Amino acid sequence: MSAGIYIHVPFCSRKCDYCGFYSVPCGQLSPGGRNELVSRYVSVLKSEIEASTHCHGMPVDTVYFGGGTPSLAGPDTIGQILSIIRSCFKLLPGAEISVECNPGDFSVPAACAFRDLGVNRLTLGIQTFSERLRGVIGRSAPAGNAELLAEFMSVDGIAHGIDIIAGIPGSTDEELDAELAPVAARKPEHVSAYMLSVEEGTPLAGRMILDAAAGEEQRRHFATAIATLTRAGYRHYEISNFCLPGFESRHNLKYWKFLPYLGFGVRAHSFVGGRRFYNAQSLEEYLAGPVRSEDVRTGNAAHAEFIMIALRLIDGFTDAEYEAALGAGMPDSVARSFEEQQRRGMIEIAAGGKSTAYRLTREGLFLADSVIYAAVESLL
């Protein structure tokens, strides 16, 4: 079975107020200081990859550079990392190679340079086209605009992805339309349309509370986003993800389908042979030498994790997929919970031939967090 590789590039110019991911702002450093820090990090990262001899030679069909802001490192740095990956692993023909890019780092020459290195999927983190909403959520990167989107779509030879936050409390219907209309018109191959999540410990959490009214507003905007993008020809394949036919994120599907992947870099996670490993160090600790620990899970925790992840897919999962991933059938307590959620209209259970499928209904999709938690509560 082919694995995926995730590379964490933790640097960004300035941390956005809503961001709960591990990132290290370096915008205050001089260009020389920033380049030195990135160079030190890449040197340790390359050593970590080279030291993972137990995995060398493994076939790999996806590589994903996430962050942070991977584009901040520049094409030369991404090229160095890809060279090490190619030397240590069997990077398969047609492998999906993805890089996340912020609007402030984007240029057509840079995008072409990434493409020439073998990157075939570039995701532009627009988040919002609105300067007002940019201020509401504390977005540090410049707001995108129609000209930027046109330039991005002009780059050929890659699949184009757009990230937007389609449910910002206090936004108007007109503002939502202004977010969705340019995307639907330009037809990037992939769109991630997230509802704003207020993460504990972030600056945004100190000034924004998602009360019941805000939640209802987000639900309405989410429904609008689904309708707008499906009318434009997109397939809604995961709670927050839409694609033109054939352009699903193959890398992210590995997470949602319990398939193997290797993570390298500070705070990166891996899932290999049914076991999870992670790096919990700070950047300073990582630079002194990576330490990977195993995240040991009990049988019940593994079952709960599979359900919580797989139900994010619009198609859900089958009992055959469940057993293949976990080596055992669904616990009776979960089956009873699913039946209760079916009676409430939140989960659809569809028997067909030798397999039964489980997926969220449309109503369950809008209440996904609570429905999924109720389904696995007996395992926690």
Beta-strand relationship, 347-352 and 355-360: antiparallel
Per-residue model confidence (pLDDT) at position 205: 87
DSSP state of 145: -
Neighbours of 216 (CB within 10 A): 11
**Mean pLDDT value across the chain:** 93
Mean pLDDT of 27-36: 89
Q: Does residue 21 register a pLDDT over 90?
A: no
Q: Does residue 299 register a pLDDT over 80?
A: no
Per-residue model confidence (pLDDT) at position 349: 96
pTM higher than 0.75: yes
- Report percent pLDDT > 70 for the chain: 100
Kindly report, residue by residue over 325-352, the tens digit of the pLDDT.
Answer: 998 999 999 999 999 999 999 999 998 7
Contact 289/51 with Cβ under 8 angstroms? no
What whole-number distance in Å separates Cα of residue 247 and Cα of residue 122? 12
- Pure H helices in the chain: 31-51, 74-88, 108-116, 131-137, 146-153, 173-186, 212-231, 250-256, 283-288, 299-310, 319-326, 332-343, 362-366, 368-376
Per-residue model confidence (pLDDT) at position 198: 86
Q: Does residue 29 register a pLDDT over 90?
A: no
Per-residue model confidence (pLDDT) at position 208: 86
Instruction: For residue 4, name the pLDDT band (cuts at 50, 70, 90).
Output: very high
At the topology level, CATH places domain 298-380 in Arc Repressor Mutant, subunit A (1.10.10)
Mean pLDDT of 100-113: 94
What whole-number distance in Å separates Cα of residue 301 and Cα of residue 304? 5
Superfamily for domain range 3-254: Aldolase class I (3.20.20.70)
DSSP state of 208: -
Please work out, in degrees rounded to the nearest 5, the angle formed at the alpha carbon of residue 112 by the alpha carbons of 40 and 56. Answer: 50
Instruction: For residue 360, name the pLDDT band (cuts at 50, 70, 90).
Output: very high
Please work out, in degrees rounded to the nearest 5, the angle formed at the alpha carbon of residue 95 by the alpha carbons of 92 and 101. Answer: 145
Instruction: For residue 59, name the pLDDT band (cuts at 50, 70, 90).
Output: very high
Q: Does residue 40 register a pLDDT over 80?
A: yes
| Residues contacting residue 98 through CB under 8 Å, at least 6 positions apart | 62, 63, 64, 65, 119, 120, 121, 122, 123, 161, 249, 251
Contact 138/202 with Cβ under 8 angstroms? no
| Shared fold status for 3-254 and 298-380 | no
Per-residue model confidence (pLDDT) at position 95: 98
What are the boundaries of each domain within the chain? 3-254, 298-380
DSSP state of 14: S
Per-residue model confidence (pLDDT) at position 177: 93
Per-residue model confidence (pLDDT) at position 242: 98
Kindly report, residue by residue over 213-269, the tens digit of the pLDDT.
Answer: 888 899 999 999 999 999 999 999 999 999 999 999 999 999 999 999 999 999 999
What whole-number distance in Å separates Cα of residue 240 and Cα of residue 187? 17
Q: Which two tokens stand for residue 166?
A: 């389609």
